[in-house]
Structure 1
Amino acid sequence: MLDARRMQVLRAVVTGGSISSAASNLGYTPSAISQQISALEREAGTALLEKVGRGVRPTAAGSLLAERAAGLADLLADAEADLADLRAGRTGRLRVSYFHTAGVGLIPPAAAKFRAQLPGVRLDLKMIDEGTLGEVTTGEADVAVIVVGREIPESRGIRVQHLVDEPYRVVLPRGHPLSDEEPIDLARLADESWVLGGVGPGGPCEESLRDAFGSAGFAPRIALETENDYATQGFVAAGMGIALQPRLALGIVHPGVVIRDVCRPEPVRRIYTAVREAVADQSATRTLLSTLAEIAAA
Protein backbone atom coordinates (compact mmCIF):
# COMPACT_ATOMS: atom_id res chain seq x y z
CA MET A 1 0.00 0.00 0.00
CA LEU A 2 1.29 3.44 -0.89
CA ASP A 3 2.10 5.78 1.99
CA ALA A 4 0.34 9.16 1.61
CA ARG A 5 3.06 11.12 3.44
CA ARG A 6 5.80 9.65 1.25
CA MET A 7 3.77 10.64 -1.79
CA GLN A 8 3.83 14.22 -0.53
CA VAL A 9 7.63 13.99 -0.18
CA LEU A 10 7.81 12.78 -3.78
CA ARG A 11 5.64 15.70 -4.84
CA ALA A 12 8.04 18.12 -3.11
CA VAL A 13 11.03 16.54 -4.91
CA VAL A 14 9.32 16.71 -8.31
CA THR A 15 8.17 20.29 -7.74
CA GLY A 16 11.57 21.45 -6.51
CA GLY A 17 13.54 19.47 -9.08
CA SER A 18 16.02 17.99 -6.58
CA ILE A 19 16.42 16.05 -3.35
CA SER A 20 18.23 18.96 -1.69
CA SER A 21 15.50 21.43 -2.63
CA ALA A 22 12.82 19.19 -1.15
CA ALA A 23 14.93 18.69 2.00
CA SER A 24 15.28 22.44 2.45
CA ASN A 25 11.56 23.11 1.89
CA LEU A 26 10.39 20.31 4.18
CA GLY A 27 12.99 20.79 6.89
CA TYR A 28 14.53 17.32 6.50
CA THR A 29 18.03 16.15 5.63
CA PRO A 30 18.68 15.03 2.03
CA SER A 31 19.38 11.55 3.41
CA ALA A 32 15.96 11.40 5.04
CA ILE A 33 14.30 12.48 1.79
CA SER A 34 16.20 9.81 -0.15
CA GLN A 35 15.10 7.16 2.34
CA GLN A 36 11.47 8.20 1.98
CA ILE A 37 11.70 8.03 -1.83
CA SER A 38 13.39 4.61 -1.70
CA ALA A 39 10.66 3.28 0.58
CA LEU A 40 7.96 4.65 -1.74
CA GLU A 41 9.66 3.01 -4.76
CA ARG A 42 9.56 -0.32 -2.94
CA GLU A 43 5.86 0.18 -2.27
CA ALA A 44 5.23 1.15 -5.90
CA GLY A 45 7.45 -1.63 -7.27
CA THR A 46 9.12 0.67 -9.77
CA ALA A 47 11.56 3.59 -10.04
CA LEU A 48 9.99 7.01 -9.46
CA LEU A 49 12.95 9.34 -10.11
CA GLU A 50 15.93 9.42 -12.43
CA LYS A 51 19.03 11.61 -12.23
CA VAL A 52 19.41 14.51 -14.64
CA GLY A 53 22.61 16.51 -14.16
CA ARG A 54 22.64 17.82 -10.58
CA GLY A 55 18.94 17.20 -10.11
CA VAL A 56 16.27 14.59 -10.70
CA ARG A 57 13.19 14.24 -12.83
CA PRO A 58 10.22 11.91 -12.38
CA THR A 59 9.66 8.75 -14.31
CA ALA A 60 6.21 8.15 -15.74
CA ALA A 61 5.29 6.41 -12.47
CA GLY A 62 6.79 9.27 -10.47
CA SER A 63 4.80 11.86 -12.42
CA LEU A 64 1.61 9.86 -11.84
CA LEU A 65 2.12 9.60 -8.07
CA ALA A 66 3.20 13.24 -7.73
CA GLU A 67 0.03 14.31 -9.55
CA ARG A 68 -2.14 12.08 -7.39
CA ALA A 69 -0.39 13.43 -4.28
CA ALA A 70 -1.48 16.94 -5.26
CA GLY A 71 -5.08 15.75 -5.55
CA LEU A 72 -4.76 13.94 -2.25
CA ALA A 73 -3.51 17.10 -0.54
CA ASP A 74 -6.52 19.03 -1.86
CA LEU A 75 -8.85 16.25 -0.69
CA LEU A 76 -7.33 16.25 2.80
CA ALA A 77 -7.57 20.04 2.99
CA ASP A 78 -11.25 19.87 2.04
CA ALA A 79 -11.83 17.11 4.59
CA GLU A 80 -10.15 19.15 7.33
CA ALA A 81 -12.24 22.20 6.46
CA ASP A 82 -15.45 20.13 6.46
CA LEU A 83 -14.47 18.59 9.79
CA ALA A 84 -13.80 22.02 11.28
CA ASP A 85 -17.26 23.17 10.13
CA LEU A 86 -18.83 20.07 11.64
CA ARG A 87 -17.05 20.55 14.97
CA ALA A 88 -18.10 24.20 15.03
CA GLY A 89 -21.71 23.23 14.32
CA ARG A 90 -21.88 25.04 10.98
CA THR A 91 -22.70 21.89 8.97
CA GLY A 92 -23.93 18.35 9.52
CA ARG A 93 -27.23 16.69 10.34
CA LEU A 94 -29.30 16.18 13.47
CA ARG A 95 -32.12 13.64 13.58
CA VAL A 96 -34.83 14.72 16.00
CA SER A 97 -37.86 12.72 17.12
CA TYR A 98 -40.74 14.15 19.14
CA PHE A 99 -44.20 13.30 20.48
CA HIS A 100 -47.37 14.44 18.72
CA THR A 101 -48.38 17.64 20.50
CA ALA A 102 -44.77 18.87 20.67
CA GLY A 103 -45.20 19.22 16.91
CA VAL A 104 -47.71 22.01 17.51
CA GLY A 105 -46.13 24.67 19.69
CA LEU A 106 -42.63 23.48 20.55
CA ILE A 107 -40.80 21.83 17.66
CA PRO A 108 -41.86 24.17 14.80
CA PRO A 109 -40.66 27.45 16.38
CA ALA A 110 -37.55 25.77 17.79
CA ALA A 111 -36.69 24.27 14.39
CA ALA A 112 -37.24 27.61 12.66
CA LYS A 113 -34.98 29.46 15.09
CA PHE A 114 -32.32 26.73 14.93
CA ARG A 115 -32.23 26.85 11.13
CA ALA A 116 -31.94 30.63 11.18
CA GLN A 117 -28.90 30.29 13.44
CA LEU A 118 -27.31 27.30 11.69
CA PRO A 119 -28.61 27.14 8.10
CA GLY A 120 -25.92 24.64 7.12
CA VAL A 121 -27.13 21.99 9.59
CA ARG A 122 -29.89 19.72 8.33
CA LEU A 123 -32.69 18.83 10.75
CA ASP A 124 -34.52 15.55 10.14
CA LEU A 125 -37.77 15.57 12.16
CA LYS A 126 -39.91 12.54 13.00
CA MET A 127 -42.89 12.00 15.31
CA ILE A 128 -42.77 9.17 17.88
CA ASP A 129 -44.82 7.82 20.78
CA GLU A 130 -44.60 10.23 23.68
CA GLY A 131 -43.46 7.91 26.44
CA THR A 132 -40.45 6.21 24.89
CA LEU A 133 -36.84 7.05 24.20
CA GLY A 134 -37.76 6.10 20.67
CA GLU A 135 -35.10 5.80 18.03
CA VAL A 136 -32.40 7.39 20.19
CA THR A 137 -31.80 4.00 21.81
CA THR A 138 -31.20 2.38 18.42
CA GLY A 139 -29.08 5.22 17.06
CA GLU A 140 -31.68 6.14 14.44
CA ALA A 141 -32.24 9.54 16.10
CA ASP A 142 -29.81 11.90 17.80
CA VAL A 143 -32.26 13.83 19.96
CA ALA A 144 -35.73 12.91 21.22
CA VAL A 145 -38.28 15.12 22.97
CA ILE A 146 -40.26 12.82 25.24
CA VAL A 147 -42.81 12.77 28.05
CA VAL A 148 -41.67 11.23 31.33
CA GLY A 149 -43.88 9.71 34.01
CA ARG A 150 -42.92 8.89 37.58
CA GLU A 151 -39.66 7.25 36.55
CA ILE A 152 -37.04 8.90 34.35
CA PRO A 153 -35.98 6.38 31.68
CA GLU A 154 -32.35 5.38 31.58
CA SER A 155 -30.32 3.84 28.80
CA ARG A 156 -26.60 3.46 28.37
CA GLY A 157 -25.08 6.07 26.07
CA ILE A 158 -28.07 8.44 26.36
CA ARG A 159 -28.34 11.66 28.35
CA VAL A 160 -31.84 12.38 29.63
CA GLN A 161 -32.44 15.95 30.77
CA HIS A 162 -35.46 17.88 32.03
CA LEU A 163 -36.82 20.41 29.56
CA VAL A 164 -40.04 21.80 31.02
CA ASP A 165 -43.05 20.95 33.19
CA GLU A 166 -46.01 21.66 30.96
CA PRO A 167 -49.21 22.50 32.86
CA TYR A 168 -52.56 20.92 32.14
CA ARG A 169 -55.65 23.06 31.72
CA VAL A 170 -59.24 22.03 32.42
CA VAL A 171 -61.54 22.03 29.40
CA LEU A 172 -65.18 22.84 30.25
CA PRO A 173 -68.28 23.11 28.07
CA ARG A 174 -69.50 26.66 27.64
CA GLY A 175 -72.04 27.50 30.33
CA HIS A 176 -70.51 25.14 32.89
CA PRO A 177 -71.15 26.41 36.46
CA LEU A 178 -67.41 26.85 37.05
CA SER A 179 -66.59 28.44 33.70
CA ASP A 180 -66.41 31.93 35.23
CA GLU A 181 -63.82 30.91 37.83
CA GLU A 182 -60.05 30.73 37.44
CA PRO A 183 -58.12 28.94 38.70
CA ILE A 184 -60.35 26.03 39.66
CA ASP A 185 -59.44 23.69 42.50
CA LEU A 186 -59.13 20.20 41.05
CA ALA A 187 -61.04 18.74 44.03
CA ARG A 188 -64.12 20.76 43.01
CA LEU A 189 -64.28 18.65 39.84
CA ALA A 190 -64.47 15.32 41.68
CA ASP A 191 -68.11 14.66 40.75
CA GLU A 192 -67.66 15.38 37.05
CA SER A 193 -67.55 12.87 34.24
CA TRP A 194 -64.24 12.94 32.40
CA VAL A 195 -63.16 12.61 28.79
CA LEU A 196 -59.59 11.37 28.42
CA GLY A 197 -57.92 12.18 25.12
CA GLY A 198 -54.55 11.17 23.79
CA VAL A 199 -53.65 9.41 27.03
CA GLY A 200 -52.16 5.98 26.40
CA PRO A 201 -52.99 3.32 28.99
CA GLY A 202 -50.15 2.98 31.46
CA GLY A 203 -48.23 5.78 29.78
CA PRO A 204 -46.57 8.80 31.37
CA CYS A 205 -49.53 11.13 30.73
CA GLU A 206 -51.92 8.75 32.43
CA GLU A 207 -49.51 8.48 35.36
CA SER A 208 -49.37 12.26 35.72
CA LEU A 209 -53.14 12.64 35.64
CA ARG A 210 -53.79 9.74 38.03
CA ASP A 211 -51.30 11.24 40.48
CA ALA A 212 -53.00 14.63 40.24
CA PHE A 213 -56.44 13.13 40.80
CA GLY A 214 -55.09 11.15 43.74
CA SER A 215 -53.56 14.28 45.28
CA ALA A 216 -56.97 15.97 44.97
CA GLY A 217 -58.55 13.05 46.83
CA PHE A 218 -60.65 11.34 44.17
CA ALA A 219 -60.64 8.82 41.37
CA PRO A 220 -62.09 10.20 38.12
CA ARG A 221 -65.28 8.80 36.60
CA ILE A 222 -64.23 8.20 32.98
CA ALA A 223 -67.09 8.69 30.52
CA LEU A 224 -65.02 7.90 27.41
CA GLU A 225 -61.54 7.97 25.95
CA THR A 226 -60.44 9.37 22.60
CA GLU A 227 -57.23 9.21 20.57
CA ASN A 228 -57.37 12.81 19.41
CA ASP A 229 -56.99 15.99 21.45
CA TYR A 230 -59.39 18.05 19.33
CA ALA A 231 -61.95 15.24 19.37
CA THR A 232 -61.73 15.38 23.15
CA GLN A 233 -62.78 19.02 23.03
CA GLY A 234 -65.65 18.08 20.74
CA PHE A 235 -67.03 15.59 23.25
CA VAL A 236 -66.62 18.15 26.03
CA ALA A 237 -68.53 20.72 23.95
CA ALA A 238 -71.29 18.13 23.46
CA GLY A 239 -71.67 17.75 27.22
CA MET A 240 -70.14 14.29 27.54
CA GLY A 241 -67.81 15.39 30.33
CA ILE A 242 -64.85 17.65 31.06
CA ALA A 243 -61.17 17.10 30.32
CA LEU A 244 -57.64 17.95 31.30
CA GLN A 245 -55.37 18.78 28.38
CA PRO A 246 -51.74 19.91 28.28
CA ARG A 247 -51.02 23.41 27.06
CA LEU A 248 -49.42 22.22 23.81
CA ALA A 249 -52.66 20.44 22.89
CA LEU A 250 -54.62 23.69 23.10
CA GLY A 251 -53.23 25.47 20.06
CA ILE A 252 -56.69 25.13 18.49
CA VAL A 253 -59.66 25.54 20.81
CA HIS A 254 -63.16 24.26 19.99
CA PRO A 255 -65.72 27.09 19.97
CA GLY A 256 -67.95 25.12 22.33
CA VAL A 257 -65.48 24.96 25.23
CA VAL A 258 -63.67 27.24 27.65
CA ILE A 259 -60.17 26.69 29.00
CA ARG A 260 -59.34 27.41 32.63
CA ASP A 261 -56.31 27.05 34.88
CA VAL A 262 -56.52 24.37 37.54
CA CYS A 263 -54.78 24.28 40.93
CA ARG A 264 -54.28 22.35 44.16
CA PRO A 265 -52.65 20.54 42.51
CA GLU A 266 -51.83 21.86 39.07
CA PRO A 267 -51.25 18.72 36.95
CA VAL A 268 -48.14 18.88 34.78
CA ARG A 269 -46.70 16.82 31.98
CA ARG A 270 -42.95 16.37 32.44
CA ILE A 271 -41.10 16.89 29.16
CA TYR A 272 -37.49 15.79 28.79
CA THR A 273 -34.87 15.56 26.07
CA ALA A 274 -32.92 12.38 25.38
CA VAL A 275 -29.63 12.82 23.53
CA ARG A 276 -27.07 10.33 22.27
CA GLU A 277 -23.79 10.72 24.13
CA ALA A 278 -21.95 10.58 20.79
CA VAL A 279 -23.43 13.92 19.69
CA ALA A 280 -24.31 15.54 23.02
CA ASP A 281 -21.26 17.79 23.14
CA GLN A 282 -21.36 18.91 19.53
CA SER A 283 -21.98 22.59 18.99
CA ALA A 284 -25.08 22.05 16.84
CA THR A 285 -26.62 19.76 19.46
CA ARG A 286 -26.01 22.28 22.22
CA THR A 287 -27.58 25.00 20.08
CA LEU A 288 -30.66 22.86 19.45
CA LEU A 289 -31.09 22.01 23.13
CA SER A 290 -30.75 25.64 24.22
CA THR A 291 -33.26 26.66 21.54
CA LEU A 292 -35.74 24.03 22.73
CA ALA A 293 -35.30 25.22 26.32
CA GLU A 294 -35.88 28.84 25.31
CA ILE A 295 -39.05 28.05 23.36
CA ALA A 296 -40.34 25.75 26.12
CA ALA A 297 -39.80 28.43 28.76
CA ALA A 298 -41.69 30.96 26.67
Structure 2
Amino acid sequence: MLDTHRIRVFRSVMASGSIQAAADNLGFTPSAISQQISALQKETGLTLFEREGRGLSPTAAAHSLVKHTNELMGELSKLDAVVTDLREGRSGRLTIGYFASAGAEWMPTLARRLAQEMPNLVLELILNEVPRRGGSPFDLNIVVDVPGAQDPHGSRRVPLATDPYVALLPADHPLADASEITLAQLEGDTWISNDLPQAICSKILAASCEAAGFRPRFAVQAQDHYTAIAFVRAGVGITVIPGLAGHVPPSDPHIRVLPIAPPQPVRHIAAVVRDPGGNTAANRAVELLLDLLR
Protein backbone atom coordinates (compact mmCIF):
# COMPACT_ATOMS: atom_id res chain seq x y z
CA MET A 1 0.00 0.00 0.00
CA LEU A 2 1.32 3.43 -0.94
CA ASP A 3 2.31 5.84 1.81
CA THR A 4 -0.29 8.64 1.74
CA HIS A 5 2.15 11.21 3.18
CA ARG A 6 4.49 10.61 0.25
CA ILE A 7 1.56 10.96 -2.13
CA ARG A 8 0.73 14.36 -0.59
CA VAL A 9 4.34 15.49 -0.96
CA PHE A 10 4.45 14.24 -4.57
CA ARG A 11 1.24 16.13 -5.42
CA SER A 12 2.65 19.28 -3.86
CA VAL A 13 5.79 19.03 -6.00
CA MET A 14 3.63 18.57 -9.11
CA ALA A 15 1.39 21.51 -8.21
CA SER A 16 4.22 23.78 -7.00
CA GLY A 17 6.49 23.15 -9.96
CA SER A 18 9.69 22.35 -8.09
CA ILE A 19 11.08 20.70 -4.97
CA GLN A 20 12.12 24.08 -3.55
CA ALA A 21 8.63 25.54 -4.05
CA ALA A 22 7.00 22.46 -2.53
CA ALA A 23 9.34 22.71 0.45
CA ASP A 24 8.35 26.35 0.94
CA ASN A 25 4.64 25.54 0.64
CA LEU A 26 4.74 22.56 3.02
CA GLY A 27 7.20 23.99 5.52
CA PHE A 28 9.82 21.27 4.97
CA THR A 29 13.42 21.41 3.83
CA PRO A 30 14.18 20.65 0.17
CA SER A 31 16.21 17.66 1.36
CA ALA A 32 13.18 16.20 3.18
CA ILE A 33 11.03 16.63 0.07
CA SER A 34 13.67 14.94 -2.11
CA GLN A 35 13.85 12.01 0.31
CA GLN A 36 10.07 11.54 0.17
CA ILE A 37 10.08 11.62 -3.64
CA SER A 38 12.96 9.11 -3.80
CA ALA A 39 11.14 6.81 -1.39
CA LEU A 40 7.94 7.04 -3.47
CA GLN A 41 9.84 6.16 -6.66
CA LYS A 42 11.31 3.08 -4.95
CA GLU A 43 7.89 2.18 -3.53
CA THR A 44 6.18 2.38 -6.93
CA GLY A 45 9.05 1.29 -9.15
CA LEU A 46 8.36 4.36 -11.32
CA THR A 47 10.58 7.16 -12.52
CA LEU A 48 8.52 10.21 -11.62
CA PHE A 49 11.03 13.00 -12.31
CA GLU A 50 13.97 13.41 -14.62
CA ARG A 51 16.80 15.91 -14.56
CA GLU A 52 16.29 18.88 -16.86
CA GLY A 53 18.98 21.51 -16.61
CA ARG A 54 19.27 22.48 -12.96
CA GLY A 55 15.77 21.27 -12.11
CA LEU A 56 13.46 18.28 -12.39
CA SER A 57 10.84 17.56 -15.03
CA PRO A 58 7.85 15.26 -14.30
CA THR A 59 7.58 12.18 -16.48
CA ALA A 60 4.47 10.89 -18.22
CA ALA A 61 4.13 8.41 -15.34
CA ALA A 62 4.05 11.30 -12.86
CA HIS A 63 1.29 13.09 -14.78
CA SER A 64 -0.72 9.86 -14.93
CA LEU A 65 -0.21 9.11 -11.23
CA VAL A 66 -1.29 12.55 -10.06
CA LYS A 67 -4.56 12.22 -12.00
CA HIS A 68 -5.25 8.84 -10.43
CA THR A 69 -4.72 10.18 -6.92
CA ASN A 70 -7.33 12.95 -7.18
CA GLU A 71 -10.17 10.76 -5.96
CA LEU A 72 -7.99 9.22 -3.26
CA MET A 73 -7.11 12.60 -1.78
CA GLY A 74 -10.76 13.62 -1.82
CA GLU A 75 -11.69 10.51 0.16
CA LEU A 76 -8.83 11.11 2.60
CA SER A 77 -10.07 14.66 3.15
CA LYS A 78 -13.54 13.29 3.94
CA LEU A 79 -11.99 10.82 6.39
CA ASP A 80 -10.04 13.62 8.06
CA ALA A 81 -13.30 15.55 8.44
CA VAL A 82 -15.05 12.55 10.02
CA VAL A 83 -12.19 12.11 12.50
CA THR A 84 -12.35 15.82 13.38
CA ASP A 85 -16.12 15.61 13.90
CA LEU A 86 -15.76 12.62 16.21
CA ARG A 87 -12.94 14.23 18.17
CA GLU A 88 -14.91 17.45 18.66
CA GLY A 89 -18.14 15.69 19.56
CA ARG A 90 -20.13 16.50 16.44
CA SER A 91 -22.54 13.64 15.86
CA GLY A 92 -23.81 14.14 12.34
CA ARG A 93 -23.03 15.41 8.85
CA LEU A 94 -25.49 16.44 6.13
CA THR A 95 -24.38 16.81 2.52
CA ILE A 96 -26.72 18.84 0.29
CA GLY A 97 -26.40 19.11 -3.48
CA TYR A 98 -27.81 22.23 -5.10
CA PHE A 99 -27.84 24.12 -8.40
CA ALA A 100 -26.78 27.76 -8.62
CA SER A 101 -30.10 29.61 -8.49
CA ALA A 102 -31.43 27.40 -5.67
CA GLY A 103 -28.14 27.97 -3.86
CA ALA A 104 -28.44 31.74 -4.06
CA GLU A 105 -32.13 31.90 -3.13
CA TRP A 106 -32.63 29.07 -0.62
CA MET A 107 -29.41 27.63 0.78
CA PRO A 108 -28.27 30.54 3.01
CA THR A 109 -31.59 30.62 4.89
CA LEU A 110 -31.73 26.83 5.06
CA ALA A 111 -28.18 26.65 6.43
CA ARG A 112 -28.93 29.25 9.09
CA ARG A 113 -32.10 27.49 10.26
CA LEU A 114 -30.42 24.10 10.37
CA ALA A 115 -27.54 25.56 12.39
CA GLN A 116 -30.02 27.05 14.86
CA GLU A 117 -31.89 23.76 15.33
CA MET A 118 -28.93 21.36 15.09
CA PRO A 119 -25.79 23.18 16.28
CA ASN A 120 -23.73 19.97 16.25
CA LEU A 121 -24.62 19.16 12.64
CA VAL A 122 -21.82 19.53 10.08
CA LEU A 123 -23.40 20.92 6.92
CA GLU A 124 -21.67 20.48 3.54
CA LEU A 125 -23.15 22.22 0.49
CA ILE A 126 -21.94 21.10 -2.95
CA LEU A 127 -22.86 22.46 -6.38
CA ASN A 128 -24.42 19.53 -8.24
CA GLU A 129 -24.33 20.96 -11.78
CA VAL A 130 -20.97 19.32 -12.47
CA PRO A 131 -21.20 15.49 -12.89
CA ARG A 132 -19.37 13.59 -10.13
CA ARG A 133 -17.70 10.22 -10.42
CA GLY A 134 -19.41 7.42 -8.53
CA GLY A 135 -22.91 8.90 -8.70
CA SER A 136 -24.62 11.17 -6.18
CA PRO A 137 -22.82 11.57 -2.83
CA PHE A 138 -25.63 13.72 -1.41
CA ASP A 139 -27.87 13.00 1.57
CA LEU A 140 -30.23 15.59 0.10
CA ASN A 141 -30.10 16.63 -3.55
CA ILE A 142 -32.02 19.62 -4.93
CA VAL A 143 -32.73 18.85 -8.58
CA VAL A 144 -34.75 19.90 -11.60
CA ASP A 145 -37.20 17.12 -12.37
CA VAL A 146 -36.37 15.17 -15.51
CA PRO A 147 -38.94 12.74 -16.96
CA GLY A 148 -37.85 9.16 -16.29
CA ALA A 149 -35.06 10.15 -13.90
CA GLN A 150 -33.76 7.22 -11.82
CA ASP A 151 -33.17 8.11 -8.19
CA PRO A 152 -30.64 6.20 -6.06
CA HIS A 153 -32.02 3.02 -4.52
CA GLY A 154 -33.84 3.64 -1.27
CA SER A 155 -34.32 7.37 -1.81
CA ARG A 156 -37.46 9.50 -1.76
CA ARG A 157 -38.34 12.35 -4.15
CA VAL A 158 -40.27 15.30 -2.71
CA PRO A 159 -41.71 18.01 -5.02
CA LEU A 160 -40.58 21.44 -3.82
CA ALA A 161 -41.54 24.15 -6.27
CA THR A 162 -42.75 25.07 -9.74
CA ASP A 163 -40.51 27.67 -11.37
CA PRO A 164 -42.02 29.44 -14.41
CA TYR A 165 -39.56 31.14 -16.76
CA VAL A 166 -39.62 34.90 -17.31
CA ALA A 167 -38.41 37.13 -20.14
CA LEU A 168 -35.73 39.72 -19.45
CA LEU A 169 -35.75 42.62 -21.91
CA PRO A 170 -33.68 45.81 -22.16
CA ALA A 171 -35.65 48.80 -20.89
CA ASP A 172 -35.76 50.36 -24.38
CA HIS A 173 -37.21 47.21 -25.99
CA PRO A 174 -40.51 47.91 -27.88
CA LEU A 175 -42.32 45.40 -25.61
CA ALA A 176 -40.66 46.47 -22.35
CA ASP A 177 -43.86 47.98 -20.95
CA ALA A 178 -46.12 45.03 -21.77
CA SER A 179 -47.86 43.26 -18.88
CA GLU A 180 -47.17 39.85 -20.43
CA ILE A 181 -45.33 38.51 -23.45
CA THR A 182 -45.38 35.43 -25.66
CA LEU A 183 -42.30 33.58 -26.85
CA ALA A 184 -43.41 34.09 -30.45
CA GLN A 185 -43.20 37.86 -29.98
CA LEU A 186 -39.50 37.45 -29.22
CA GLU A 187 -38.69 35.23 -32.21
CA GLY A 188 -36.87 37.95 -34.16
CA ASP A 189 -34.87 39.26 -31.23
CA THR A 190 -31.21 38.71 -30.44
CA TRP A 191 -31.28 35.89 -27.89
CA ILE A 192 -28.75 35.38 -25.08
CA SER A 193 -28.33 31.88 -23.68
CA ASN A 194 -28.10 31.48 -19.92
CA ASP A 195 -27.20 27.80 -19.57
CA LEU A 196 -25.28 25.06 -21.37
CA PRO A 197 -27.07 23.86 -24.54
CA GLN A 198 -27.59 20.30 -23.26
CA ALA A 199 -28.65 21.30 -19.74
CA ILE A 200 -32.19 20.43 -18.70
CA CYS A 201 -33.18 24.10 -18.35
CA SER A 202 -32.10 24.80 -21.95
CA LYS A 203 -34.08 21.78 -23.13
CA ILE A 204 -37.21 23.01 -21.32
CA LEU A 205 -36.90 26.38 -23.05
CA ALA A 206 -36.24 24.77 -26.45
CA ALA A 207 -39.36 22.60 -26.13
CA SER A 208 -41.56 25.63 -25.39
CA CYS A 209 -40.09 27.56 -28.32
CA GLU A 210 -40.77 24.57 -30.59
CA ALA A 211 -44.36 24.58 -29.33
CA ALA A 212 -44.53 28.28 -30.25
CA GLY A 213 -43.34 27.44 -33.77
CA PHE A 214 -39.71 28.56 -33.87
CA ARG A 215 -36.17 27.92 -32.69
CA PRO A 216 -34.40 30.85 -31.02
CA ARG A 217 -31.16 32.14 -32.52
CA PHE A 218 -28.63 32.57 -29.74
CA ALA A 219 -26.23 35.31 -30.77
CA VAL A 220 -24.54 35.29 -27.34
CA GLN A 221 -23.58 32.04 -25.62
CA ALA A 222 -23.42 33.39 -22.06
CA GLN A 223 -24.29 30.00 -20.52
CA ASP A 224 -24.77 31.33 -16.99
CA HIS A 225 -27.46 33.46 -15.42
CA TYR A 226 -25.38 36.36 -14.14
CA THR A 227 -23.57 36.97 -17.43
CA ALA A 228 -26.79 36.68 -19.45
CA ILE A 229 -28.47 39.30 -17.24
CA ALA A 230 -25.46 41.59 -17.68
CA PHE A 231 -25.77 41.33 -21.48
CA VAL A 232 -29.46 42.24 -21.25
CA ARG A 233 -28.59 45.17 -18.98
CA ALA A 234 -26.13 46.37 -21.63
CA GLY A 235 -28.88 46.26 -24.28
CA VAL A 236 -27.32 43.44 -26.32
CA GLY A 237 -30.46 41.31 -26.48
CA ILE A 238 -33.07 39.37 -24.49
CA THR A 239 -32.96 36.22 -22.41
CA VAL A 240 -35.63 33.82 -21.16
CA ILE A 241 -34.66 32.44 -17.80
CA PRO A 242 -36.12 30.45 -14.87
CA GLY A 243 -37.85 32.84 -12.49
CA LEU A 244 -35.70 31.71 -9.56
CA ALA A 245 -32.60 32.86 -11.47
CA GLY A 246 -34.12 35.95 -13.04
CA HIS A 247 -34.36 38.24 -10.03
CA VAL A 248 -33.51 41.81 -10.94
CA PRO A 249 -33.86 44.70 -8.44
CA PRO A 250 -37.03 46.71 -9.19
CA SER A 251 -34.86 49.82 -9.10
CA ASP A 252 -32.74 48.59 -12.04
CA PRO A 253 -33.56 51.07 -14.83
CA HIS A 254 -32.03 48.97 -17.61
CA ILE A 255 -34.04 45.70 -17.49
CA ARG A 256 -37.69 44.72 -17.56
CA VAL A 257 -38.84 41.33 -16.24
CA LEU A 258 -42.03 40.07 -17.91
CA PRO A 259 -44.19 36.98 -17.31
CA ILE A 260 -44.64 34.67 -20.29
CA ALA A 261 -47.98 33.51 -21.67
CA PRO A 262 -48.46 29.85 -22.76
CA PRO A 263 -46.66 27.95 -24.05
CA GLN A 264 -44.66 29.02 -21.01
CA PRO A 265 -41.49 27.11 -20.11
CA VAL A 266 -41.65 25.82 -16.54
CA ARG A 267 -39.21 23.76 -14.52
CA HIS A 268 -40.24 21.61 -11.59
CA ILE A 269 -37.85 21.41 -8.64
CA ALA A 270 -37.65 18.47 -6.26
CA ALA A 271 -35.59 17.22 -3.33
CA VAL A 272 -34.19 13.67 -3.41
CA VAL A 273 -33.58 12.32 0.09
CA ARG A 274 -31.20 9.39 0.51
CA ASP A 275 -32.19 6.86 3.19
CA PRO A 276 -35.33 8.82 4.12
CA GLY A 277 -36.28 6.47 6.95
CA GLY A 278 -33.16 7.11 8.99
CA ASN A 279 -31.93 10.51 7.81
CA THR A 280 -33.36 12.87 10.41
CA ALA A 281 -31.32 15.91 9.32
CA ALA A 282 -32.20 15.50 5.63
CA ASN A 283 -35.90 15.08 6.40
CA ARG A 284 -35.85 18.19 8.59
CA ALA A 285 -34.05 20.12 5.84
CA VAL A 286 -36.87 19.23 3.43
CA GLU A 287 -39.47 20.39 5.97
CA LEU A 288 -37.64 23.69 6.37
CA LEU A 289 -37.41 24.14 2.59
CA LEU A 290 -41.14 23.51 2.17
CA ASP A 291 -41.85 26.01 4.94
CA LEU A 292 -39.51 28.53 3.27
CA LEU A 293 -41.32 28.12 -0.05
CA ARG A 294 -44.85 28.53 1.26
Matches within 5 A, 1:180-191: 180-191=177-188
Partner of 2:160: 163
Alignment check: 8 A CA contact 1:150 1:204 kept? no
Distance in 2 separating the partners of 1:93 and 1:216: 46
| Cα drift, residue 145 of structure 1 | 0.9
SS of 2:100's equivalent?
Answer: coil
The TM-score with structure 2 as length reference comes to 0.62
Alignment check: 8 A CA contact 1:135 1:141 kept? no
Does residue 200 (structure 1) correspond to residue 185 (structure 2)? The answer is: no
Partner of 1:285: 282
String of CA shifts for 1:176-228, please: whole Å, max 9, x gaps.
Answer: 1111112212222222221011x122221111111111222221122121133
Structure number with greater Rg is: 1
Partner of 2:266: 268
Identical columns (%): 30
SS of 1:185's equivalent?
Answer: coil
Distance in 2 separating the partners of 1:118 and 1:191: 53
Distance in 2 separating the partners of 1:280 and 1:247: 33
The TM-score with structure 1 as length reference comes to 0.61
Q: Which amino acid in structure 2 is aligned with residue 174 of structure 1?
A: A
Matches within 5 A, 1:20-99: 92-99=92-99
Does residue 175 (structure 1) correspond to residue 176 (structure 2)? The answer is: no
Segments of 5+ residues of structure 2 without an aligned counterpart are 1-89
| Cα drift, residue 252 of structure 1 | 4.8
Runs in 1 of length 4+ with deviation above 6 angstroms?
none
Distance in 2 separating the partners of 1:149 and 1:209: 14
Alignment check: 8 A CA contact 2:180 2:259 kept? yes
Alignment check: 8 A CA contact 1:149 1:208 kept? no
| Cα drift, residue 135 of structure 1 | 7.6
Aligned length: 204
Distance 1:202 1:151, change over 3 A: farther
Does residue 256 (structure 1) correspond to residue 254 (structure 2)? The answer is: yes
Distance in 2 separating the partners of 1:284 and 1:234: 38
| Cα drift, residue 256 of structure 1 | 2.1
Distance in 1 separating the partners of 2:247 and 2:237: 20
Match of 2:219 among 215, 219, 223: 223
Distance in 2 separating the partners of 1:112 and 1:176: 40
Distance 1:287 1:154, change over 3 A: closer
SS of 2:160's equivalent?
Answer: strand
Partner of 2:47: none
Q: Which amino acid in structure 2 is aligned with residue 123 of structure 1?
A: L
Match of 1:149 among 129, 146, 151: 146
| Cα drift, residue 242 of structure 1 | 0.7
Distance in 2 separating the partners of 1:98 and 1:280: 22
Partner of 1:17: none
